[in-house]
Structure 1
């Protein structure tokens, strides 16, 4: 039997020798496979073993394809498949795997830490927001941008700004409405505690005081949850602000045309047509847009659709305009909720921050409004919009635009400074520009009263600085009294002075609306001025022999303000236009409505039934507007005033019933109740929260504890290392007894529960 040889080189040599000489010069890699196969050389490149038949027969194989033995025997020549070479094993990078695992562990630990921290600090806890209104015209492509519902549980990385909470403890100064409402509550509780037969009255007033305390946010058993932007949408992963559903462009253009053609819409829509149109086209066109652009367009369209709704006659058209306004409102809150901390310093950002502040104030979020207007103030001063020198090289149109926006920021900032009791961020001594003249204003409806608005804002800043700031409270009482009378004189001159722009503004309003509408506006201005008078006179203590806690001038101005409010009611009754929301925003929300609180306290002291009727007139005015989807601010004011009114009415009824049984006259009861005189008001104002119980025993125990507490608090002013006199200390503690109360009007949790 032939033996197989492994050495195949002789065969290769013989075959190569048979190749022509010219072909030997060609590289082997360039020879075609067909040529090699025809010459019997292909197997030398691909086959290294015997064919299957030769291996089975144990015969020598020449390793051709087909081999000589298979050709001779006329059999099929096959070769076994070659073994594939082992793939090189890939090196495992253990460090990368471990790094990934470590990152996962770190992320889970961070999520766990955030969860534990949120549980310990409820003010920073991220909770689902309330469900926003559904938009009928929302397309399917944007259906993923759904409002947050209470059933949803967003991931920690979602960063949903709609779940931001307002702080639980938020400082508001002595001129704020929240401070005054807390004072009224403490005043009522002190009257119940210290008057004769107080235990009997306390039993009757238990439920009323509980409701009032709940309305003020003082029920410590309830968790305080307040959503800063309840209508903000959730942006899912991969979506940006560009994916927000916008109103159809044709509907927006229809309303923009109405803003130019309809006198009423043109007068009240707070946007300049030219600049808004530019930003509008930018947002509705492909390309990048800024947060400021989205704020300006959505806020502008939100107010535009609402104004167009006022003049619409068809119910279907009204419903559609309201739906578009709701869409813009949700978009606006979404942008505000996801607003980055750092904003570019340009005029567009200043304008957008101002618009955001106006919106937040309308929705009764004064603290958020302050944040935005303070940002606008800082940016405007950074850009030099308050200085002639800084804007000397700007083109005239740009310079005029900066001046107009700065004065609008100034008016809003000074009003909020007094509204919240915070120091202004704008120093009047640094301003070197003047209010633009009438010839420079593009629209008389928007800038017609800029002169008067600037004067009033300047007075509001002086009221806080000279009467309610910490430095003012440290001054002797005679200094504050002199300042208060001087400010009252300035405010009276402001009321009585008629500027040329005032007449032009009223004429333009009359042409756009009606004569009755102008009367309603003048009544609104009167209420606003009288409310400021009341706040000024509040800094003047009562006379020694007056027998009341508040001064006579303060009480008189409060009654005049509420009587002017009743006059406004009679004018609006004959008005076809819807002026209620405008009145509420101007007279009740933008400035602290102190007259209501002053009259309330006067009723508790004297049992004045006429004052109770005045309070009821305010309640009747606010109640209709609470049905509107856009009047969240009015709803909160209504619930607060309604709680105070119910408390005063029930207290008055309880006192009269006790007097009729034989406890003497109201005057004797008041005199024996030790109504605090100006020299002895501190204990009453420092009275703690009186936690009334249903049982008589609990009330008695609370009275004893209160007496001990009051004795301790008598030494508070003397123990402080300050020069604040007794009335200054009382004014400083005006409605600052309970920090939880400082944000009562902003806490939607209590209003929703009371509704």
Structure 2
């Protein structure tokens, strides 16, 4: 048996070495003192076959590494190490400065606290608050809405270019050029924003992403202090459903408290859980601000809500592509989509909600068979979350003109019935919310999908009429909900806020109805005017939009979170109906529709003066040029028609044959020329009889009795001495005097030319 002893000897039963001392010493003399070498003679297979004594020698231990000469570090590596060292020192300095600032600001009521050591996220957030030169996010308009603007602009341009009289008016040409430039600029801006990130967060000066610990930064984001969070949760728990609304799809308040504990204490927490924490806290602080009576307390709630919002958007901007498929991820992505919609990031909202809907399908939340083994509480939680995702996904898909990812034929779970605690006008949780969402999904499939657009006209008209009738019935039923919200919801809102939401909802409903009716092929000669039902729905939508704008003008200050949501409604509600009525005004010159356009534009201009509603400038950049071109075109067209009506007076003596515009301008030139000729005759010393004879010849050239009467009366009123003293500066006064007498003679009000 082989033994591993120091010295490399094999001790047998007697304890004597197997090898001689001389041989061992001779081998040891040539070995380094630090090297452990074990040698042993073991018979190999060949030795055994020969039955000879063992003659094989091998090492039983690895030879220690020989000492090597130290390789000198090159100057390149020296510079890199020095650069890294300097960066670390700079980072330590920044962290220390931020720690001092936080320590100095802890006594302030408004200062949010951080529960952990500052990292990349806190640096980022601090730079956003401290830097006054942070670029404001550019505001774009999604392509689905902007397509309506392009259609209306083309209709205006076609109408102006086909009318030579309008083309000759400088004001119309200038307004049309402004509209072209505005549309092109907005189109380029939209294309730029579509390829950019939705939430851009500036890094501190001199730092880049690879300089900062990204993986550990999200859990160290700024968050309100623990006492403020607990106070907010206690208010939520002790408040009645009429004061603070807790969305049922968020689960129970006790479950959310567990998320808060994990977020505010050391330990692992996922990005999805952080999204849930920051979004729900943002929503709760906003609701507390709405109900606060003390102005100082309201401002504190707004500051805490803003802190949660900034952290939430930082997480969304850094979210990984790979997300675990579970209930927390579905809930977090649903909340992220809601936040993006309120912030006007519709494309990003679609990215989140479509991902959430696919996760719902993957987990079987739509299938009753997949939840047979689930407990009752878990089944109810999943059903609430699924139907919330379903309703939001259908609405966003219709707004962007995209097919839904959830097919109604695949759903086997029962529809969710809302009780009084689950409904809310503020969150658009009406009793028929699932029915409306289902209709939204069928609108795309039946009217706007590529297959639907290839159907014959009769099929499209039939589908449009059926879907429009269904939506009209829903609108009629919702009128009862709006008149008495206390009958179906326990959530009580401020009176002005409730009135605004009712008018805004009705504006969006009728805007959707107008979009449905627009699918009916037009019968107008110009080809740009929708059917009568579409125009009627657009008028109601614009009137409701104007009413909601008027409420905002008189309302008190609301929390910042509500202002962001309101600004998005002010974009969506009047957008489609305004473009529809612009096309109608161009075709019909309807003064009442022009007044509706003016009311909305003036209302938005008034709101845009306030910093709270500065986002109204986004749609005003489009609405104002559209209205200006339409208004000037209608003004020119009305003036032209008025001139044509007056020209009908100048007909043949015995018939009513209409003379064209050349006859009218001939009369004008005739009178003007006669005034100058009469002055020349008088200045040459001719008698007054000669002058009257010339006037008689001039009136004889008039094409009708009315024209002759008016011209003769106008010429007679010009006194002899006045023309004798006639000078160039008097030409305007004498001309006006002439035309005043002319119109009075033929019994019409003065029309200046």
- Given the two structures, how large is their TM-score scaled by the length of structure 2? 0.61
Q: 1:217 aligns with which of 178, 183, 187?
A: 187
Aligned partners of 1:433 and 1:99: how far apart in 2? 66
Q: 2:368 aligns with which of 388, 392, 402?
A: 388
Superposed displacement of residue 642, structure 1: 1.6
Q: 1:259 aligns with which of 229, 236, 239?
A: 236
- Is 476-485 or 222-231 further displaced after alignment? 222-231
Residue of structure 1 in register with 2:386 after alignment: 406
Residue of structure 1 in register with 2:590 after alignment: 608
- Alpha carbons 1:535, 1:594 under 8 Å: kept: yes
Superposed displacement of residue 590, structure 1: 6.6
The aligned runs of 1:114-193 (5 Å cut-off) are 137-138=111-112, 142=118, 144-146=123-125, 172=143, 176-193=144-161
Q: For 2:124, what is the secondary structure of its paired residue? A: coil
The aligned runs of 1:679-698 (5 Å cut-off) are none
Q: 1:198 aligns with which of 156, 167, 173?
A: 167
Residue of structure 2 in register with 1:317 after alignment: 297
Aligned partners of 1:232 and 1:395: how far apart in 2? 46
- Alpha carbons 2:138, 2:193 under 8 Å: kept: no
Name which structure has the greater RCO, CA cutoff 8 Å, separation 6+.
1
Superposed displacement of residue 278, structure 1: 2.2
- Alpha carbons 1:419, 1:591 under 8 Å: kept: no
Residue of structure 1 in register with 2:178 after alignment: 208
Aligned partners of 1:368 and 1:135: how far apart in 2? 35
Aligned partners of 1:487 and 1:606: how far apart in 2? 28
Gaps of 5+ in 2: 1-64, 82-107, 647-753
Residue of structure 2 in register with 1:736 after alignment: none
Gaps of 5+ in 1: 1-86, 105-133, 153-161, 669-755
Q: 1:530 aligns with which of 510, 532, 557?
A: 510
How far does the alpha carbon of each residue in 1:242-262 deviate from its partner, in whole angstroms, 9 at most, with x for none?
221111111122222222344
Residue of structure 1 in register with 2:30 after alignment: none
Q: 1:229 aligns with which of 184, 199, 205?
A: 199
Superposed displacement of residue 206, structure 1: 5.1
- Alpha carbons 1:558, 1:595 under 8 Å: kept: yes
Q: For 1:216, what is the secondary structure of its paired residue? A: helix
Residue of structure 1 in register with 2:600 after alignment: 618
Residue of structure 1 in register with 2:465 after alignment: 485
Q: For 1:390, what is the secondary structure of its paired residue? A: helix
Aligned partners of 2:431 and 2:361: how far apart in 1? 20
- Alpha carbons 1:135, 1:327 under 8 Å: kept: no
Residue of structure 1 in register with 2:412 after alignment: 432
Superposed displacement of residue 513, structure 1: 2.8
Superposed displacement of residue 431, structure 1: 0.5
Residue of structure 1 in register with 2:708 after alignment: none
- Alpha carbons 2:157, 2:176 under 8 Å: kept: no
- Is 538-547 or 230-239 further displaced after alignment? 230-239
How far does the alpha carbon of each residue in 1:382-417 deviate from its partner, in whole angstroms, 9 at most, with x for none?
000000001111111111111101111111110011
Aligned partners of 1:605 and 1:667: how far apart in 2? 20
- Alpha carbons 1:600, 1:645 under 8 Å: kept: no
Aligned partners of 2:401 and 2:289: how far apart in 1? 36
Aligned partners of 1:509 and 1:575: how far apart in 2? 23
Say if 1:225 and 1:163 are closer, same or farther in 2 by CA, change over 3 A: farther
Aligned partners of 1:256 and 1:625: how far apart in 2? 34
- Alpha carbons 1:606, 1:666 under 8 Å: kept: no
The aligned runs of 1:69-148 (5 Å cut-off) are 90-91=68-69, 137-138=111-112, 142=118, 144-146=123-125
Q: 1:647 aligns with which of 609, 625, 628?
A: 625
Superposed displacement of residue 577, structure 1: 8.4
How far does the alpha carbon of each residue in 1:281-327 deviate from its partner, in whole angstroms, 9 at most, with x for none?
22112211111111111111112222222222333323322222221
Q: For 1:191, what is the secondary structure of its paired residue? A: helix
Residue of structure 2 in register with 1:512 after alignment: 492
Residue of structure 2 in register with 1:458 after alignment: 438
Aligned partners of 2:576 and 2:74: how far apart in 1? 66
Question: RMSD across aligned C-alpha pairs, in angstroms?
Answer: 4.5
Residue of structure 2 in register with 1:245 after alignment: 222
